[in-house]
Structure 1
Amino acid sequence: MADAAREVADRMAEAARAWLDSLDADQRKVAVGPRPGADDPAEAERTRWFYTPTDHGGLTFHQQRPAQHRMVMRLVATGLSEAGYATVATVLGLENVLDRVEGFSVNWGRERTRDPGMYYLRVFGEPGGARPWGWRFGGHHVSLNNLVIDGRVTATTPCFLGADPAVSPLLGGAKLRPLGTAEDLARELVRSLRPEAAARALLLPRAPNDIVAGNSSRVTDRVVRRSDLWRPGPYTPDRAEHPSTGLDGAHQRALALTPEPKGVPGAELDAAQRELLSALLGTYLDRVPDGVSPLSRYEDPAALDAVHLAWAGSTTAGEPHYYRLQGPRLLIEWTNIHRGVNHAHAVWRDPETDFGGDVLAAHHAAHHA
């Protein structure tokens, strides 16, 4: 695993250097950020992330030549499995589909609102070597955050993918569902539970408006407000100031994230249900290359025992719903609520080491940086 993480980091560094070498001076000013852990203001920028169609920070495709676009995607590919890369590329292309769904009419005051050119890349620090460095790629429904320390990939979260529309028709009656398996497996699992367990898994009959942790830099029980999901600036849509979950009072408390996971633990599942749980974890943890994915951790029965499934909303296909998987070093959240239950959000986080977390702090303490 360690050697594989180093090999992935080497590929990342090579691709990042090639991209940076292609940039002119003006492009580099936007494309390069301070070394991770350099100072508090810089870290606040590096650890602020988005999944809305707003300014994610960095150089957009529009600010680059086609040859540089290819270099961007080459770097993105180093942080993803083959399936993960295909899914990300599909999500980028869905901007064109969404534009048609909305009648090519949505106008937020920029030249194009649903824009596959508005994805941003920024490299933090100098790629390669022992010093920490990282990169971030994001735009509407994509946020990839990678950190390398001592020549090894040490963090790949938060890792967010969304799909709007979640289901699109294809020729011959086929359907495009980039995140469909993550929905289907979870529903099959929760519907397979015994009545008593199903009652404990269901936190609330109503689904929240969005993932509970939102785009918080650290996972806490703070409810992320709708306005926090957008970077202030000229392209920020007019959004009311209310919790992004759309819940309050007892409903909000029922769904709140707590250190002790809510729901039903893997330890109470039968063999078939545990297989479903493992497969569901794979739809998230297989986004990244084998060398850095923690999926093998759950081959240990004790690790799978500790993963809790919680649900909110309906378990009937086509109706609004939310679920999460929570355990040590794991938080997965899913929603499909809006646009007639055709707009999915799916995020994987490691509450201890999102953006590098304690690993980065330990590195700086050891090296007096």
Structure 2
Amino acid sequence: MDAVEWQTWANPEFLQFDTGLRLEFQPPDVRKKALALVEASLSPDGFRLVHDMMLINGFLGEVVGLETILNEFSYNFALYGSPDAEAPWGWQLFGHHCAVHCLVVEGRMVVSPVFLGAEPNEIDEGPHAGRPVFTDRIRLGTDLMAALPSDLRAAATVYRRMVDPGMPPGRIHPGDERHLAGAFQDNRVIPLEGIRAADMPEQARQILLQIAESFVSLLTDGPRAARMREIRDHLDATWFSWIGGHEVGDVFYHRLQSPVLIAELDHHCGVFLDYDTLQPFHIHTVLRTPHGNDYGRAHVRAWQARNG
């Protein structure tokens, strides 16, 4: 459970760490059972979102003719520990635009860190065609900005442009762009920016909680309710920051940050599709549990202390 391989996940389409099994090279039955474990661990909406990332990855591979690099199963899957009703164990799924970590111990569950992204954000033809992903999170972000009075909206906006001349060197990462909590950033100390939820009007506070719940929606009912209680308990200490425009259709970045939650959404430039400007249909999101409980490590340490 202390294996460093928990941290060897990454978003790029090329394989950086060959941890566990590469699903695209496994028999169909192994793929099916791996996805069945993911589905059994997550809420129905959470599994649908995770699986959508994998399906969209396959769709992107078909669109750009790179099916051997980008496909539904170009993901690694690993188990940690032995599945048990009490002792800690977990699983990890990672690859292009999808990285999910799940830890279970003594009836508690942590699903964090989570990286989900999509380019494009919709499959518009074929057997898996469906509605765009992340539409709720995008709408909630602009709804929150609209619910703020002008002075708080201005204070929340750390930079008015996505690539702003006022940004310090290094603020735009070559791969993560505006994200601060992506891969290889475990336990990073991120400065608080923007405005506090304690200073927001009640309508905006409620929308902020809806954004938080959309990020933790991968959890099943019981763990999600416990997680939301934790988030509400720290609501006054939650900060909200914004980069970019805030009208419908604008590209933007936002971050929720509290002692128990870091949640980021960022619009990105094209990588495989033919455009070199930021677009609403290329989206990355990151969820972290700060102060040592990514990968459920605080729960694991507590269990180890009690059980030798």
Both proteins in one fold, TM over 0.5: yes
Aligned to 1:144: 100
Aligned to 1:193: 148
Whole-Å Cα distance in 1 between the matches of residues 69 and 297 of structure 2? 34
Q: Deviations over 1:14-58 (max 9, x none)?
A: xxxxxxxxxxxxxxxxxxxxxx02xxxxx2222232222233522
In the TM superposition, what is the alpha-carbon distance from 1:198 to its structure 2 partner?
1.2
Q: Decide whether aligned partners of structure 1 residues 50 and 153 sit closer, same or farther in structure 2, where only a CA change above 3 A counts.
A: farther
The residue matched to 1:74 in structure 2 has which SS? helix
In the TM superposition, what is the alpha-carbon distance from 1:112 to its structure 2 partner?
1.1
Aligned to 1:333: 264
Q: Deviations over 1:125-155 (max 9, x none)?
A: 2111543221111221111111223x33342
Answering whether residue 54 of structure 2 is matched by residue 76 of structure 1, we say no
Q: Deviations over 1:177-197 (max 9, x none)?
A: 111111110112113311211
Whole-Å Cα distance in 2 between the matches of residues 145 and 299 of structure 1? 19
Q: Pick from 127, 132, 151: which aligns with 2:88? A: 132
Show the 5 A alignment for 1:75-94.
75-94=37-56
Aligned to 1:347: 286
Aligned to 2:182: 214
Contact 1:144/1:158 (8 A) holds in 2: yes
Show the 5 A alignment for 1:107-256.
112-149=68-105, 151-169=106-124, 176-207=131-162, 208=172, 209-221=177-189
Q: Deviations over 1:91-128 (max 9, x none)?
A: 111123212443x1x5xxxx712122211211112111
* Letter aligned with residue 219 of structure 1: N
Whole-Å Cα distance in 2 between the matches of residues 137 and 152 of structure 1? 21
* Letter aligned with residue 153 of structure 2: A
Show the 5 A alignment for 1:278-317.
278-293=209-224, 294-297=226-229, 300=232, 302-317=233-248
Q: Decide whether aligned partners of structure 1 residues 59 and 175 sit closer, same or farther in structure 2, where only a CA change above 3 A counts.
A: closer
**Higher helix proportion (structure 1 or 2):** 1
In the TM superposition, what is the alpha-carbon distance from 1:63 to its structure 2 partner?
2.7
Q: Decide whether aligned partners of structure 1 residues 167 and 62 sit closer, same or farther in structure 2, where only a CA change above 3 A counts.
A: closer
Q: Pick from 176, 200, 203: which aligns with 1:269? A: 200
TM-align CA RMSD:
2.4
Aligned length: 281
Q: Decide whether aligned partners of structure 1 residues 299 and 322 sit closer, same or farther in structure 2, where only a CA change above 3 A counts.
A: closer
Stretch moving more, 323-332 or 266-275:
266-275
* Letter aligned with residue 229 of structure 2: R
Whole-Å Cα distance in 2 between the matches of residues 356 and 282 of structure 1? 19
Q: Deviations over 1:259-281 (max 9, x none)?
A: xx322222222232222112211
Whole-Å Cα distance in 2 between the matches of residues 282 and 321 of structure 1? 20
Q: Pick from 44, 58, 78: which aligns with 2:4? A: 44
In the TM superposition, what is the alpha-carbon distance from 1:324 to its structure 2 partner?
0.4
Whole-Å Cα distance in 2 between the matches of residues 97 and 316 of structure 1? 29
* Letter aligned with residue 304 of structure 2: H
Larger Rg: 1
Whole-Å Cα distance in 1 between the matches of residues 182 and 107 of structure 2? 28
Aligned to 1:359: 299
Please report the TM-score for the alignment, with normalisation by the length of structure 2: 0.83
Aligned to 1:21: none
Q: Decide whether aligned partners of structure 1 residues 351 and 298 sit closer, same or farther in structure 2, where only a CA change above 3 A counts.
A: closer
Whole-Å Cα distance in 1 between the matches of residues 152 and 158 of structure 2? 11
Whole-Å Cα distance in 2 between the matches of residues 159 and 359 of structure 1? 18
The residue matched to 1:364 in structure 2 has which SS? helix
* Letter aligned with residue 194 of structure 2: G
Instruction: State, as a whole percentage, how many aligned pairs show the same letter.
Output: 25
Q: Decide whether aligned partners of structure 1 residues 194 and 166 sit closer, same or farther in structure 2, where only a CA change above 3 A counts.
A: same
Answering whether residue 28 of structure 2 is matched by residue 63 of structure 1, we say no
- Unmatched tracts of structure 1, length 5 or more: 1-35, 38-42, 222-256
The residue matched to 1:291 in structure 2 has which SS? helix
Whole-Å Cα distance in 1 between the matches of residues 61 and 185 of structure 2? 30
